[in-house]
Structure 1
């Protein structure tokens, strides 16, 4: 069964990003529950930013699940990536993500690696950057497995990384790792830029997809752009996807309206599954 999810970000440094709710944690969770979402995707400054007991209590109080945790703060706040030429920085990136994995695993939620993958920077051979990325994902994938969760790797569009931009390239890369515990994030916004056909790409690489970001072509909530969502929803059902579609979208025109539009779109495309 495909489940609904909304993003809550608690990192001031990324407040201009595509996250629906920005209020304090309980306010965001309460609004998500009131609208009928199944879960939340959480972005925090670090694994230690929220006491697990507090989050457990809030999730139980509002009958919501934790779908995933983001790691982007590691890059935004600390400048850490898995492909930095500095070995010490790469080690710190792995430690930061490992801590996030352990935090999310307490709730059965995987960690997502997006911006922390980094880039091929000037002076570094492309093959070397990919070796560093593979090394990091392998270590982190095995750590996630030991914690009982998968690890989610996100291909980003060409304007955000020069590493992996499509589901096909991402699938080939993670399948070559010495761990089978790394899955892909199919982000509809990034795919709209990079894929020839979003539904066809989903069908071709469905076995590798572990999470979906639910946003329209302009990164506003689904229904406010030109993405052909009906065909994508059909493709997700055809691959028997049973995870979350999570609203990583701009809070346009405001968080409350964006959340309402998202759950309206979710019900339109997935409530007849």
Structure 2
């Protein structure tokens, strides 16, 4: 398992669950100095960061890019895979394809979280789920042609009414006409939705492709009440070998949150 820390690079967004903010180079240097293996990027668009500068920086620091987030597609552009307007759904697919290409250029998968959307008012659930499945299938195949997987994230009930639990995510993935989509196990969302985080992780098994490392209050691990010993053992039991990425509030400060995160990672996985 590999440690990873999030960096938000969207100037119009000033708060959220990301550890480092705005300055890619300074943030990456801090991450490397603390011993993180990778960085997860949240950018406004696929061309917000130059490939040459990112590649040179990560090579210099011995860092990898663990994943790229797509949430700005919804936050800034209002695009989701379940919008009733087919033009908006098509725009969401195009935006995510661009992010997949960006991530693939540095060997990183793209994450679909908020861009999945919701069951819209006046639309039955089956139809919305069909739109989601078609979008994920198209994007999973596109990611495969780019040599990366696609990561799908179940979110808690306050953020989506589509898929909230890992078990339902597993069922969704099995229904797709692609086998190139994996699940994101976000410990914060799971704390709200799962009866047992560790049991859910074991049932999902090899379908887990990314983990978001945040405590029950979405602070860094160690600042809430998540039973991390059991969670860590479950990840070991399924032979998870991906990134453990801190998508948590930068509390009390970004530097202190990063330090708390790497200490917790080393405690449970080091």
Which range, TM-score by smaller chain? over 0.9
For residue 262 of structure 1, what is the aligned residue in structure 2? 261
Whether the 8 Å CA contact 1:13–1:76 is kept in 2: the answer is no
- 1:168-227 per-position Cα deviation (integer Å, ceiling 9, x unaligned): 000000111000000000000000000000000001111210000000000000000000
For residue 221 of structure 1, what is the aligned residue in structure 2? 220
Q: C-alpha separation between the residues in 1 aligned to 2:145 and 2:256?
A: 40
For residue 125 of structure 2, what is the aligned residue in structure 1? 126
Deviation at 1:20, TM superposition (A): 0.1
Whether the 8 Å CA contact 1:114–1:156 is kept in 2: the answer is yes
- 1:15-57 per-position Cα deviation (integer Å, ceiling 9, x unaligned): 2110000141100000000100000000100001111011001
The DSSP-based 3-state class of the residue aligned with 2:20 is coil
For residue 113 of structure 2, what is the aligned residue in structure 1? 114
Does 2:176 correspond to 1:177? yes
Q: C-alpha separation between the residues in 1 aligned to 2:14 and 2:35?
A: 24
- 1:241-267 per-position Cα deviation (integer Å, ceiling 9, x unaligned): 000000000000010000000000000
Deviation at 1:107, TM superposition (A): 1.1
* Aligned length, in residue pairs: 270
Deviation at 1:108, TM superposition (A): 1.0
Runs of 4+ deviating beyond 6 Å = none
Q: C-alpha separation between the residues in 1 aligned to 2:216 and 2:13?
A: 20
Deviation at 1:13, TM superposition (A): 3.2
Deviation at 1:156, TM superposition (A): 0.1
Q: C-alpha separation between the residues in 2 aligned to 1:85 and 1:5?
A: 36
Q: C-alpha separation between the residues in 2 aligned to 1:138 and 1:165?
A: 19
Question: What RMSD over aligned residues (CA atoms) do the two structures have, in Å?
Answer: 0.6
Structure 1 gap ranges (5+): none
The DSSP-based 3-state class of the residue aligned with 1:47 is coil
Q: C-alpha separation between the residues in 2 aligned to 1:13 and 1:208?
A: 34
